[in-house]
A = this chain, B = another copy of it.
């Protein structure tokens, strides 16, 4: 699979079998009118110490897919990861998968992103518990390498997980500023994996709900509030090392991280019937500015102790800000990278809308389970939420050219 830009593909196709049908004029026009290669600014480098799509400034759109591996062949699994790595490098550079298959074969690239630029596409690949053992079987000889941190998430209070939205042996997160580019990436990876993997679930996210860079404005979630103000940012290197990346003692996971994926249905109709005062007290911030109710502006540190005239804390102890605050959670922070979703209606006259929560953490045992337990139990916001899908994935470190994602696991 060679790495051709989408422009090159057009030129190539124009000189190939297509010519016979459409004539030389069309070929010339095709080349002349081909869109330019993606501008450099829209390309996120694929290779590096860490996979892209984690500290990359959050793109606008998401397509996330979890796959079941349907083969027991270790070689076939490795071949898939090699192919996915190769394809991801091509697609994130704005290229099309090479069309050398010929006119009488199916096109190698499905084509719906022809003419679009890379749109900051990132492709991030992770491994679920099922890759290590599934139904008690060690299909790929990987069981002994399952990291202790790749736990089976406990059942949290109020969880309402649907099996068809939960789990997966592999996950691929495609983020881009153009949804067609993200969908194209997932679709082509699914296609490459035909016979090796099958799509278990997939989720489109139409708008980012978190900033992962200080250069980004804080977006709003479907409760109408700014979300992710206190998020870890790409610029906080020390904090990333502490809270996101697996350290050098992490074996094959060194330089990796864990992705917690939770599909959280938001009961927006109930929320919409709640007074602004109540909404702000539930969140612990004002809606307009996103400032903590203890005063200041959006980026002012919340003062959980500050009391109002009535002696009660201005930020209620059960508010989302208080429950999630590092001071109440042993200082842990997470890198959130979630997306708003809307999936039609729920069959009961309401929109099925919410948050595809995505967070990257160094260890979910310390950085997710305790906080989610507290939130599900005590967070006033939990009344308006229902977790309907869930996945936990070990996301290995990045690759250099010639390597493939997860190679250190298979060579461990």
Binding site for B on A (CB under 8 A): 10, 13-14, 17-18, 21-23, 25-26, 29-30, 33, 61, 63, 65, 68, 70, 99, 101-107, 109-115, 164-165, 178-180, 183, 186-187, 190-191, 194, 198-204, 206-207, 217, 219-225, 268-269, 272-277, 279-280, 286-289, 291-293, 295-298, 314, 340, 342-345, 347, 349-351, 353
**Closest CB of chain B to A264's CB: distance in Å?**
15
Tell me if B105 and A275 are in contact (CB < 8 A): yes
Give the Cβ gap from A372 to chain B, nearest Cβ, in Å.
Answer: 23
* Known interface pairs A180-B206, A202-B342, A225-B111; A105-B22 also in contact (CB < 8 Å): no
Chain B residues near A164 (CB-CB < 8 A): 345, 347
Which listed residue, B22, B187, B286, touches A286 by the CB 8 Å rule? B22
Shortest distance from the beta carbon of A143 to any chain B beta carbon, whole Å: 25
Question: A191 contacts B293, CB within 8 Å?
Answer: no
Whether the pair B187, A106 counts as a contact (CB closer than 8 A) is: no
Task: Give the residue of B110, B190, B191, B224 whose beta carbon is less than 8 angstroms from that of A111.
Answer: B224
- Contact call A268/B26, Cβ cutoff below 8 A: no
Q: How far is the CA of A180 from the CA of B227 in the complex (A)?
A: 14
The 8 Å CB contact of A224, one of B10, B114, B280, is: B114
**Which B residues are in CB contact (< 8 Å) with A198?**
349-350
Cross-interface CB contact of A344 among B22, B107, B203, cutoff 8 Å: B203
Query: Judging by beta carbons under 8 Å apart, are B191 and A26 in contact?
Result: no
Q: Which residues in B have their C-beta under 8 angstroms from that of A272?
A: 106, 110, 191
Do residues B297 and A26 form an inter-chain contact, with CB atoms below 8 A?
Answer: yes
A289 vs B101: C-alpha distance in the bound complex, in angstroms? 19
A153 to B291, CA, bound (A): 53
The complex places the Cα of A170 from the Cα of B29 at a distance, in Å, of 45
In the complex, what distance in Å separates the CA atom of A17 from the CA atom of B280? 11
Nearest CB in chain B to that of A346: its residue:
B199
Q: Is the CB of A17 within 8 A of B114?
A: no
Known: A21-B314, A23-B295, A199-B345. 14 other contacts (CB 8 A): A21-B293, A29-B291, A33-B289, A61-B206, A70-B349, A106-B274, A106-B275, A111-B220, A112-B224, A180-B340, A187-B351, A198-B349, A201-B345, A204-B206
The 9 listed contacts between A and B (C-beta, < 8 Å) are A21-B293, A22-B291, A29-B298, A107-B287, A110-B272, A112-B223, A179-B179, A191-B272, A204-B206
**With A17-B276, A203-B344, A276-B17 given, is the CB distance from A22 to B295 under 8 Å?**
yes
Take A115-B220, A288-B18, A297-B25 as given contacts and tell me if A276 and B107 are in contact as well, using a CB distance cutoff of 8 Å.
Answer: yes
CB distance from A289 to the nearest CB of B (A): 4
In whole angstroms, what is the CA distance A242 to B50 when docked? 58
In the complex the two chains form, is A190's CB within 8 Å of B277's CB?
A: no
- If A106-B276, A111-B225, A351-B199 touch, whether A343 touches B296 (CB-CB below 8 Å) is no
Residues of B within 8 A of A222 (CB): 110, 112, 183, 187
